[in-house]
Amino acid sequence: MRAEFRVAAPIRRTSLSACRSLLRTLFRNPSFVIIYSAIISDGFGWRYHLGLDPPSTEIPVPRDFEVDTGFLLVFAASDGQSHAYGLDKLNSLAVVVDSEEAKNTTKIKQLLCWLSSIGIKYIILYDMQGVLKQTIGIDLESLTNTSMTPCSVIDAKTASSLFHFGKMAIEIISLSDGKEGVAKAASFLYSEHMKDDSEICHRSEPDFTESDVANALKATGSAGDEPDLLLVYGPARCHLGFPAWRLRYTEIVHMGRLRSMNFAAILYVCQVIR
């Protein structure tokens, strides 16, 4: 049987010990469902992961990450041996956010925490105007103490941002990595063709394959994994120019407004799509 319940209430530091005590009680009761993990956030911005596994996924969050309401979220899994959420096959997940809503960095950071808590290994954040690159990208840069790691870029200013965060990678992209990226790839393809063509005195006509385009996208820094799932946050139910080359078989789900996002809905979508 699978069930989940949620209690939303302000939690103070002193209550954390009460939560741990409750969980220990539940663990000891064999007739109860097996608790896999509990995620507790308090108003101070720290996140605790209590579960059967060692708390290696405890992720410190910068102090300026403010959670308005602490909450206790407990998930019960019928199979405590396997990954509680059964999302092993969901390798990468993309999130498209309306650029106006992307300015709500608190919500974006909360979303990242949630996605990391359910074990998503590769997250792609996208908004058209590059708001996320300028906000979340800079925060992640300072958090991970890594500089932007573009992938073989020609123009570093428009490079996508890729951050490794424990076992998770976060890629932040914008329209410059989408349609503009293909335009750059077309220019690159022509240049490469002319290089090869010069040896036979400019006789051959360009004859490109999908592999050629894929390699050109990689060379110009616009390549990347095809996400298994794409969540769209915003008023419109469209992907807002997410890189077309990476959308072939991606499942697309509109989640509504970012301000209305909730963890249970995300988990539900991930488990249905997996």
Characterize 133-166 residue by residue with b for buried, 16 or more Cβ atoms within 10 angstroms of its Cβ, and e for exposed. Answer: bebbbebbeebeeeebbbeebeeeebbbbbbeee
Binding status of residue 91 toward another protein by CB under 8 A? no
Task: Compute the distance between CA of residue 227 and CA of residue 171 in angstroms, rounded to an integer.
Answer: 11
**Alpha-carbon dihedral sign for residues 218, 222, 224, 226:** negative
Residues in the chain: 274
Binding status of residue 253 toward another protein by CB under 8 A? yes
State the minimum distance, in angstroms, from the CB of residue 241 to another protein: 4
Binding status of residue 100 toward another protein by CB under 8 A? yes
Binding string, residues 101-140; x marks residues near another protein by CB under 8 A: ---------------------------xx-----------
Residues 188 to 227 in contact with another protein, rule: CB under 8 A: 189-191, 193-194, 202, 205-210, 212-213, 216
- Report yes or no: 222 and 177 within 8 Å, Cβ to Cβ: yes
Binding status of residue 33 toward another protein by CB under 8 A? no
Half-sphere exposure of 147 toward its Cβ, with a 13 Å CA cutoff? 4
Instruction: Give the residues across from 50 on adjacent strands.
Output: 38
Given the complex with another protein, which of 3 and 156 has the nearer CB atom? 3
Residues in the interface with another protein (CB under 8 A) total: 66
Residue linked to tokens 């909730």: 262
Considering only the stretches 23-31, 58-66, 117-125, 255-263, report the one whose residues sit in contact with another protein under the rule CB under 8 A: 255-263
State the minimum distance, in angstroms, from the CB of residue 128 to another protein: 5
DSSP 8-state class, residue 221:
T
Residues that bind another protein (CB under 8 A): 1-6, 98-100, 128-129, 175, 178-180, 182-187, 189-191, 193-194, 202, 205-210, 212-213, 216, 235-242, 244-245, 247-257, 260, 262, 264-265, 268-269, 271-273
